[in-house]
């Protein structure tokens, strides 16, 4: 099975900060990497699919990059509504696996 | 509007069975792969099982393989998860989720979840 390692597990940031979250796969997954945002008590929301494609309706301050085993989610200017937990997920081969999540908190 | 509504959760004793259902509306259900994803209290997301649009491809997480069975009825726009030999570690909120593709790609629609509690 492919293991997904996310870092950091949590971070504190201020509104307007640039935030970067990384995700590393235990083997190459090409570009089959998705990012989700989850707020407390809510279902996850797809932000980015296939490494860098912004899901419809997602603000352009979110972006993704990477390939192979190393991937990055960037929030260019953190907004109050972005405080949440973020998960990466590989869809290269089943079982599909998620990272353990990165909690973004208010500094 | 695409909607997924789960049902069937509840409190069950270890070793017993439970069947979850998911009713889909507002989409061409038979065009998409579907998934079950769970989240234990205070924990992260765990992919449980997936099924391709025509049921030709079915996969499970190692943690549930041999105990859980996913199925779909495209005529009824429904997805199911039969869970046998339940364990306390199966306690979680179970989400029904729609893929963007007919196979596995990304999940773009989630239900509200149904809670399964395994305890004596």
CA closest to A9 among chain B residues: B44
CB A64 within 8 A of CB A51: yes
pLDDT at A78: 97
pLDDT(B81) > 90: yes
Which residues are CB-neighbours of A31 under 8 A, at least 6 positions away?
A50, A51, A52, A66, A67
Give the model confidence (pLDDT) of A35-54 as tens digits.
999 999 999 999 999 999 99
Token readout for A97 is 């696996």
Contact B35 A99 (CB under 8 A): no
Residue B71's pLDDT is 98
* Whether residue B94 has pLDDT greater than 90: yes
Distance CA A7, CA A5 (A): 7
- Residues, chain B: 120
Partner-chain residue, chosen from A46, A50, A95, that has the shortest CB–CB distance to B59: A95
User: Per residue, what are the HEC states of chain B?
Assistant: CCEEEEECCEEECCCCCEEEEEEEECCCHHHCCEEEEEECCCCCEEEEEEECCCCCCEEECCCCCCCEEEEEECCCCEEEEEECCCCHHHCEEEEEEEECCCCCCCEEEECCCEEEEECC
* pLDDT tens figures, B14-61: 999 999 999 999 999 999 999 999 999 999 999 999 999 999 999 999
> Over 90: is that where the pLDDT of A107 sits?
no
Closest Cα in chain A to B52: A94
């Amino acid at each position: 099975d492919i293991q997904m390692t996310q870092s950091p597990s949590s971070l504190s940031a201020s509104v307007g900060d640039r935030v970067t979250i990384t995700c590393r796969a235990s083997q190459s997954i090409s570009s089959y990497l998705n990012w989700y945002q989850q707020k407390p008590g809510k279902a996850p929301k797809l932000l980015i699919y296939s490494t860098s494609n912004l899901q419809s309706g997602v603000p352009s301050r979110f972006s993704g990059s990477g390939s192979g085993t190393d991937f990055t989610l960037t929030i260019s200017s953190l907004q109050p509504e972005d405080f949440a937990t973020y998960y990466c997920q590989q869809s290269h081969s089943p079982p599909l696996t998620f990272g353990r999540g990165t909690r973004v908190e208010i500094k | 509007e695409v909607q997924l509504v789960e049902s069937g959760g509840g409190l069950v004793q270890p070793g017993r069975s439970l069947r979850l259902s998911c009713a889909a509306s507002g989409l061409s259900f038979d065009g998409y792969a579907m998934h079950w994803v769970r989240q234990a209290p205070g924990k992260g997301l765990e992919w449980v099982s997936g099924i391709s649009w025509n049921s030709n491809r079915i996969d499970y997480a190692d943690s549930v393989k041999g105990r859980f069975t996913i199925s779909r009825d495209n005529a009824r726009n429904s997805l199911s998860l039969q869970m046998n030999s339940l364990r306390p570690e199966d306690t979680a909120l179970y989400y029904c989720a729609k893929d963007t593709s007919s196979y596995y790609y990304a999940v773009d629609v989630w239900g509200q979840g149904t809670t399964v509690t395994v305890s004596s």
